[in-house]
Structure 1
């Protein structure tokens, strides 16, 4: 099971005629094992239903900003403090210093972004330098503009793995994209 790929959800980017559940099922069938559930505009009970579906597909569910029942951890925004209750948690980071600070605060992982220009958040900011991903004190997932074409380069730059949203959510065949990403990030 590869832990080098995390897919972030965004049902608003899913192609017409398909649901987020369809995308998650296809991604799981292709070998995805970790999903980061966003859907922050949904009430907690709706997020919990999506998380339940992902788990029935065989995926570990990390939840953005606030936990979901049965979730494997929570992924916090950049400025959020460490959780007061013991849990596996990660943090969104936007610089090497942010990732080092997250490790010092006890984070288990971090996303570091943007790796490249991104369609999901155009104009978000200039991509980080490749060496920002090297030799960090916790597993860091390169996020932002990750595609099949640059995922291996992100790993070669030092990222533990890659985190992807748009490339999978917008894909005409999410399973093909997930399979190609998994192949690209194998160590």
Structure 2
């Protein structure tokens, strides 16, 4: 799976009427993975939006991941699910989805990274690298120094997340993660232009 530019949707910047259009623009700009994430919506609204995103990602042959909700991921035929430290345990998720399903896990410190090494996941997210307001109660900032350590010790591909944008992405890429996960830096404003700018930097730095 190409994790270079991992885009995450945000309900502040899109809704049912334009989510498909914005996701398509982000993919055309260079996003390599799409995760659907919504924290304040009813299940039926999430289902309808996720179906639209699933349709777009199929069209562009891009992996589609659903945040937190294993049931929703299964219901819309997603390619995978991304869970956090307080969601269902990875072992339980694996029993529900099988071995071919993509499973990602959020980590926020080196202990969680080491624990993740014993889990049957396809990749881990590590962060927040910088300050971010995409969550009401964000975890403590880890910074690039810890990111570099996480990359060096993890047996799984590491995706950096948290406050990453075109101004600071080079500092993140110097730590050699498998990719970067971006929310606001893609979907606030023009998703195509934002993704294109980020992807150009990524390709130049990662080769």
What TM-score results when the alignment is normalised by the length of structure 2? 0.79
User: 1:152 aligned to 170, 174, 183, which one?
Assistant: 170
User: 1:78 aligned to 72, 85, 105, which one?
Assistant: 85
The 1-side partners of 2:83 and 2:178 are apart by 18
1:94 aligns with 2:102: no
Q: 5+ unaligned residues in a row in structure 2: which ranges? A: none
Q: SS of 2:12's equivalent?
A: helix
The 2-side partners of 1:2 and 1:152 are apart by 18
> Pairwise CA RMSD of aligned residues?
2.3
Q: SS of 2:106's equivalent?
A: strand
The 1-side partners of 2:47 and 2:161 are apart by 27
Aligned pairs (5 A) from 1:1-187 = 3-14=3-14, 19-39=18-38, 41=41, 42-43=43-44, 45-46=47-48, 47-65=50-68, 66=70, 67-68=73-74, 69-79=76-86, 80-82=88-90, 83=93, 84=95, 85-86=98-99, 87-121=101-135, 124-134=138-148, 135=152, 136-171=154-189, 173-186=190-203, 187=206
Q: SS of 1:51's equivalent?
A: helix
The 1-side partners of 2:106 and 2:126 are apart by 6
Count of equivalent residues = 184
What TM-score results when the alignment is normalised by the length of structure 1? 0.86
Structure with the bigger percentage of helix = 2
Cα shift at 1:12: 2.2
The 1-side partners of 2:32 and 2:144 are apart by 26
